[in-house]
């Protein structure tokens, strides 16, 4: 009986894993990526975006809203013209959320595209959540906001006072209002460079020539991004790994409260693809997931990690119930064998002082996780295959 | 903050507002507010909005207050039409219909008038906690506690407006600025403190309830009140953030009246349970000490604690240290600015040689 049950279980696991293989996107070569008509012919692939659940944030309402968050499906296409790459991301969102300037607890819809700075070797790619030490990423973020007024950006201190305190009336006051409105920045587009979440740094020196935009169409958003294939941060060619994230303001989405994809491969038409990268990102993990689950239990993974969505929460290690969705097999394997290679940002140590998931040794974060490099290859393969099954269903 | 002396005049609130929060998306914020206790407080029912730490030291989830329902949208009037002479009593009106705001329930308190009603004023600023909930909640390391004096500040360059800090602060003393989409909070007037001047709220306090100094400076008033006499206690220290604003609990409250309107001898309107809720079990000893010192002062005319609390001179309430900050600036190769006003400077780093002659030969600086 037990044997039968196991085989049924592994069948089920195999079936779901087969469905989940990430697509390969081909970026057609076009004359000009800024020409809107290129999207009519572009081939869209379905990319699944999983709820980020590695750590739970301390926002009670948001946690209630996202407690049963499901994966989202986005339609993604890319084109390039030899100089620039353009991406179009379409995703469903029933409500258009634009963070207003008159509210303290509303949030915007938004999307982001993440590029790895080094793209030659598929193993290891940077950690999916804002990269990792020594493996930088560039993140393009676009949020749907109403006018954003950042007076300090341009040293326009004189425009910082309230209209009622200007001491002027009538036409002079109207002139003042017009000046303030002209200073308002209407576009919340940001570019970051990061080597791990806490190092996220906005690039403000205009050294990245990119343009992102979001358009609401009935039932969802179309987000587009154009950026150079080469600049001081990235050198994209052949096969480009990207990761996509979307935020839903209705669910109070911001920073980690988002849905994100694993690394997805984009082949640039007319260039030699990176076969190793394509293989890494589009084939399923080898291994027996059912045996992997058993091995995970025997090795006590659940002592510190929440594995299944129904398991108890832990402040010790990152929750893994969506790790199979947004992590590559190589990353999962590395985390088992070399836990300190990437220390997931996690909680501020001050927030959960009794469950420190890393220590700082010589200025570097060292994971408190046991090194499991003593496990044989087959067991590790099985555990990775099991972890790859841990993910939320799609909406 | 001596709650026996606070008269709820809001001068501190106005001092802070005009200095920092009357513009640029901060209009609804009160880095300093004075609320009536018992009452809803500001923002509404802040004590029930979560944040802080449990006994195990785990940060607790919290709720981010809503501008309209919990803070209140600041309203303004159509002064323009008044100035233009078009306004009469019908046309002079607020630009939004006010539904809630700070001090909406001012002076209401609890109990039944006239038998046993009571309230007192509770001035609140950021507690500049030793274990700040806001700092612990920030996933971007955008909040830091200054090494030189413990002032908790938001790094506005790093802040991305996620607002977990607001959920994490049990006092709800950090606010979201919707205009710049970043969090902002009381900065303890650090530009003033660095010049040896008390924060604006303390400087302007007409009731002389606010003492400012370094807790580890044994000569300071705050050290004496907190550590020597132990009469100043943290607000809701059960939240586990180790707040650094200390309150002298209200010790004096009138007796209750009976049904005939006669004084019930020996009764007191202010329930000790309320004070225990706010200031913890140590409030009993604090009140005991305060009453004993009051008695001693009445009988003998001598009490260091009472003299301290009376604060005969404004300058007797503050012990800051401009030279200390100048030294910090020097060590860190920052730009040390000249002090503007040296009246309150009496710290261990400040020497007599630092005093300067101001208007009309009046000597300032040093301890008066």
The answer to the question of residue A170 being in a domain is no
> What pLDDT shows up at residue A6?
44
> What pLDDT shows up at residue A9?
43
Assess whether pLDDT exceeds 80 at residue A109.
yes
Average pLDDT of chain A is 88
> What pLDDT shows up at residue A153?
52
Assess whether pLDDT exceeds 60 at residue A11.
no
One domain, residues A266 and A316: no
Assess whether pLDDT exceeds 70 at residue A5.
no
Q: Where are the alpha helices (DSSP H) in A137-183?
A: 170-183
One domain, residues A267 and A134: yes
Distance (Å) from the alpha carbon of A329 to chain B's nearest alpha carbon: 26
CA neighbor of B308 nearest in space, from B224, B194, B368, B227: B224
Chain B residues whose beta carbon lies within 8 Å of the beta carbon of residue A63? 61
The number of beta carbons lying within 10 Å of the beta carbon of residue A34 is: 13
Domains: count for chain A: 2
Distance (Å) from the alpha carbon of B187 to chain A's nearest alpha carbon: 18
Residue A168 and residue A84: Cα distance in Å, rounded? 49
Chain A residues whose beta carbon lies within 8 Å of the beta carbon of residue B164? 57-59
A-B CB pairs within 8 A amount to 130
- 3-state DSSP percent of chain B in helix, strand and coil, to 5: 30, 15, 55
The answer to the question of residue A160 being in a domain is no
- Residue with structure tokens 């300090």? A152
User: Residue A336's domain spans which residues?
Assistant: 289-388
* Confidence category of residue A151, pLDDT binned at 50, 70, 90: low
DSSP type of residue A235: B
The reply to whether residue B167 touches residue A58, judged by beta carbons under 8 angstroms, is yes
> What pLDDT shows up at residue A156?
63
One domain, residues A332 and A378: yes
**Between B27, B58, B162, which is nearest A352 by CB?**
B58
The reply to whether residue B23 touches residue A100, judged by beta carbons under 8 angstroms, is no
Q: What is the mean pLDDT of residues B136-160?
A: 93
Residue B2 and residue A349: Cα distance in Å, rounded? 35
Q: What's the full length of chain A, in residues? A: 395
Return the residue of A nearest to B161 by Cα: A254
A38 CB-near residues (< 8 Å, 6+ apart): A28, A30, A32, A79, A86
The answer to the question of residue A126 being in a domain is yes
Residue A129 and residue A185: Cα distance in Å, rounded? 28
Q: Counting beta carbons within 10 angstroms of the beta carbon of residue B1, is it exposed (0 to 12), middle (13 to 18) or buried (19 or more)?
A: buried
Distance (Å) from the alpha carbon of A385 to chain B's nearest alpha carbon: 30
Q: Counting beta carbons within 10 angstroms of the beta carbon of residue B53, is it exposed (0 to 12), middle (13 to 18) or buried (19 or more)?
A: buried
DSSP-based three-state secondary structure for B163: coil
Which of the residue ranges A13-27, A129-143, A165-179, B44-58 has the most confident prediction, judged by mean pLDDT?
B44-58
Chain A residues whose beta carbon lies within 8 Å of the beta carbon of residue B179? 101, 148-149
Residue A376 and residue A371: Cα distance in Å, rounded? 13
The alpha-carbon radius of gyration of chain A (Å, integer) is 23
ipTM of this complex: 0.88
For the stretch B13-47, pLDDT in tens is 999 999 999 888 899 999 999 999 999 999 999 99
**Between A61, A169, A200, which is nearest B140 by CB?**
A200
The answer to the question of residue A334 being in a domain is yes
Chain B residues whose beta carbon lies within 8 Å of the beta carbon of residue A255? 139-140, 160, 162
DSSP type of residue A284: P
One domain, residues A369 and A251: no
pTM assigned to the model: 0.90
The reply to whether residue A162 touches residue B73, judged by beta carbons under 8 angstroms, is no
One domain, residues A101 and A234: yes
* Confidence category of residue A197, pLDDT binned at 50, 70, 90: confident
Percent of chain A with pLDDT over 90: 66
| Domain termination residue (choose one: A282, A316, A331) | A282
> What pLDDT shows up at residue A4?
47
Percent of chain B with pLDDT over 70: 93
Hey, which bits of chain B come out as E strands?
33-37, 120-124, 143-145, 152-154, 174-177, 182-185, 212-213, 233-234, 246-247, 318-319, 356-357, 363-364
Q: Counting beta carbons within 10 angstroms of the beta carbon of residue A242, is it exposed (0 to 12), middle (13 to 18) or buried (19 or more)?
A: buried
| Domain termination residue (choose one: A265, A282, A299) | A282
Assess whether pLDDT exceeds 90 at residue A304.
yes
Residue B166 and residue B143: Cα distance in Å, rounded? 12
Assess whether pLDDT exceeds 50 at residue A10.
no
One domain, residues A104 and A52: yes
Contact status of B73 with chain A (Cβ, < 8 Å): yes
Assess whether pLDDT exceeds 90 at residue B52.
yes
Token representation of residue A309: 């969505």
* Confidence category of residue B55, pLDDT binned at 50, 70, 90: very high
One domain, residues A273 and A318: no
- Residue with structure tokens 């612990």? B136
Q: Which residues of A lie closer than 8 Å to B, measured between beta carbons?
A: 57-61, 63, 99-105, 145, 148-152, 160-162, 164-165, 169-170, 173, 188, 197-198, 200, 202, 254-256, 315, 345, 347-348, 350-355
**CATH code: domain of residue A215:** 2.60.40.1190
The number of beta carbons lying within 10 Å of the beta carbon of residue A16 is: 15
Euclidean distance between the first and the last CA atom of chain B, given in angstroms as a whole number: 22
CA neighbor of A101 nearest in space, from A147, A156, A143, A141: A147
Assess whether pLDDT exceeds 60 at residue A7.
no
Residue A385 and residue B236: Cα distance in Å, rounded? 49
Question: Which of B51, B84, B164, B173 is the mutation pick for testing A, counting most A CBs within 10 A?
Answer: B164
One domain, residues A325 and A380: yes
Least confident piece of the model among A100-104, B212-216, B300-304: A100-104
| Domain termination residue (choose one: A260, A282, A304) | A282
The answer to the question of residue A162 being in a domain is no
Distance (Å) from the alpha carbon of A202 to chain B's nearest alpha carbon: 8
Least confident piece of the model among A6-20, A138-152, A283-297, A327-341: A6-20
One domain, residues A293 and A275: no
One domain, residues A117 and A45: yes
Q: What is the mean pLDDT of residues B332-343?
A: 80
Q: CA angle, A314 as apex, A313 and A318 as ends, to 5°?
A: 105
Q: How far is CA B131 from CA A67, B213, B215, B244, B290, in A?
A: 28, 19, 16, 10, 29
The answer to the question of residue A156 being in a domain is no
Contact status of B175 with chain A (Cβ, < 8 Å): yes
* Confidence category of residue A149, pLDDT binned at 50, 70, 90: low
HSE at residue A123, side-chain half, CA atoms within 13 A, is 12
The reply to whether residue A58 touches residue B27, judged by beta carbons under 8 angstroms, is no
Q: What is the mean pLDDT of residues A28-50?
A: 95
One domain, residues A143 and A212: yes
Token representation of residue B335: 């730009």
Chain A residues whose beta carbon lies within 8 Å of the beta carbon of residue B69? none
Beta bridge partners of B37: B120
Contact status of B44 with chain A (Cβ, < 8 Å): no
Average pLDDT of chain B is 90
Contact status of B122 with chain A (Cβ, < 8 Å): no
Distance (Å) from the alpha carbon of A302 to chain B's nearest alpha carbon: 20
The answer to the question of residue A295 being in a domain is yes
> What pLDDT shows up at residue B322?
86
The answer to the question of residue A275 being in a domain is yes
**CATH code: domain of residue A358:** 1.10.760.10
One domain, residues A86 and A41: yes
Which of the residue ranges A157-171, B17-31, B274-288 has the most confident prediction, judged by mean pLDDT?
B274-288
B281 backbone φψ class: left, alpha, beta (φ>0; ψ -120 to 50) = alpha
Chain B residues whose beta carbon lies within 8 Å of the beta carbon of residue A105? 64-67, 163, 176
């Amino acid at each position: 009986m037990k044997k039968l049950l196991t085989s049924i279980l592994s069948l089920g696991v195999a079936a779901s894993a087969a469905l989940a293989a990430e697509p390969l996107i081909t970026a057609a070569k076009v004359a000009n990526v800024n020409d809107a008509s290129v999207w009519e012919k572009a081939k869209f692939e379905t990319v699944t975006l999983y709820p980020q659940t590695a750590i739970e944030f301390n926002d009670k309402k948001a946690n209630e809203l996202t407690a049963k968050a499901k994966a989202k499906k986005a339609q993604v296409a890319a084109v390039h013209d030899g100089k620039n790459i353009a991406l179009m991301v379409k995703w469903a969102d029933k409500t258009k959320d634009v963070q207003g300037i008159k509210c303290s607890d509303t949030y915007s819809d938004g999307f982001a595209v993440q590029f790895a700075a080094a793209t030659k070797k598929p193993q290891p790619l940077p950690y999916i959540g804002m990269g990792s030490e020594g493996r930088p990423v560039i993140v393009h973020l676009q949020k749907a906001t109403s006018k954003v007024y950042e007076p300090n950006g341009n040293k326009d201190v004189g425009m910082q006072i309230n209209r009622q305190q200007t001491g002027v009336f009538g036409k002079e006051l109207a002139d003042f209002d017009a000046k303030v409105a002209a200073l308002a920045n209407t576009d919340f587009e940001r570019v970051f460079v990061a080597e791990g979440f806490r190092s996220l740094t906005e690039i403000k020196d205009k050294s990245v020539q990119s343009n992102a935009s979001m358009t609401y169409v009935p039932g969802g958003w179309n987000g587009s991004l154009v950026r150079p294939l080469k600049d001081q941060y990235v050198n994209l060619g052949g096969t480009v790994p990207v990761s996509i994230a979307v935020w839903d303001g209705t669910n109070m989405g911001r920073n980690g409260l988002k849905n994100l994809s694993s690394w997805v491969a984009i082949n640039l038409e007319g260039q030699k693809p990176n076969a190793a990268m394509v293989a890494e990102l589009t084939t399923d993990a080898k291994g027996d997931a059912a045996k992997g689950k058993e091995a995970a239990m025997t090795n006590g993974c659940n002592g510190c990690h929440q594995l299944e969505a129904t398991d108890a929460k832990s402040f010790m290690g990152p929750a893994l119930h969506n790790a199979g969705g947004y992590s590559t097999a190589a990353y999962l394997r590395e985390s088992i064998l070399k836990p300190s290679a990437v220390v997931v940002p996690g909680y501020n140590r001050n927030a959960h002082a009794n469950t420190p998931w890393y220590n700082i040794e010589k200025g570097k974060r060292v994971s408190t996780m046991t090194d499991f490099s003593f496990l044989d290859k087959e067991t590790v393969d099985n555990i990775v295959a099991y972890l790859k099954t841990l993910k939320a269903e799609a909406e | 903050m001596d709650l026996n002396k606070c008269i709820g005049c809001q001068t501190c609130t106005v001092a802070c507002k005009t200095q920092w929060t009357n513009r640029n998306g901060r209009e609804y914020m009160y880095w300093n507010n004075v609320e009536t206790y018992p009452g809803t407080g500001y923002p509404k029912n802040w004590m029930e909005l979560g944040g802080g730490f449990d006994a195990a030291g785990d940060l607790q989830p919290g709720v981010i207050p809503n501008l309209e329902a919990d803070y209140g949208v600041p309203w303004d009037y159509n002064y323009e039409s008044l100035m233009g002479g078009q306004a009469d009593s019908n046309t002079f009106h607020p630009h939004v219909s006010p539904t809630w705001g700070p001090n909406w329930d001012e002076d209401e308190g609890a109990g039944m008038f006239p038998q046993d009603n009571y309230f007192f004023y509770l001035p609140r600023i950021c507690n500049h906690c030793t274990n700040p909930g806001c700092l612990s909640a920030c996933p971007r390391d955008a909040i830091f506690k200054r090494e030189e004096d413990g002032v908790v500040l938001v790094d506005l360059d790093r802040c991305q407006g996620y607002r977990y800090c607001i959920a994490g602060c049990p006092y709800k003393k950090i606010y979201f600025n919707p205009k710049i989409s970043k969090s902002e909070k009381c900065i303890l007037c650090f530009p003033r403190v660095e010049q040896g001047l008390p924060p604006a709220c303390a400087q302007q306090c007409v009731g002389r309830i606010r003492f400012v100094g370094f807790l580890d400076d044994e000569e300071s008033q705050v050290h004496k009140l907190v550590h020597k006499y132990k009469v100043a206690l943290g607000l809701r220290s059960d939240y586990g953030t180790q707040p650094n604003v200390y309150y002298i609990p209200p010790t004096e409250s009138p007796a209750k009246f009976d049904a005939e309107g006669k004084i019930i001898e020996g009764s007191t309107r202010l329930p000790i349970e309320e004070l225990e809720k706010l200031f913890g079990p140590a409030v009993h000893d604090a009140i005991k000490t305060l009453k004993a010192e009051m008695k001693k002062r009445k009988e003998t005319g001598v009490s260091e604690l009472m003299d301290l609390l009376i604060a005969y001179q404004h300058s007797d309430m503050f012990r800051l240290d401009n030279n200390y900050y100048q030294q910090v600036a020097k060590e860190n190769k920052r730009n040390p600015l000249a002090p503007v006003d040296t009246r309150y400077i009496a710290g261990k780093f400040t020497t007599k040689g630092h005093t300067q002659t101001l208007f009309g030969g009046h000597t300032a600086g040093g301890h008066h």
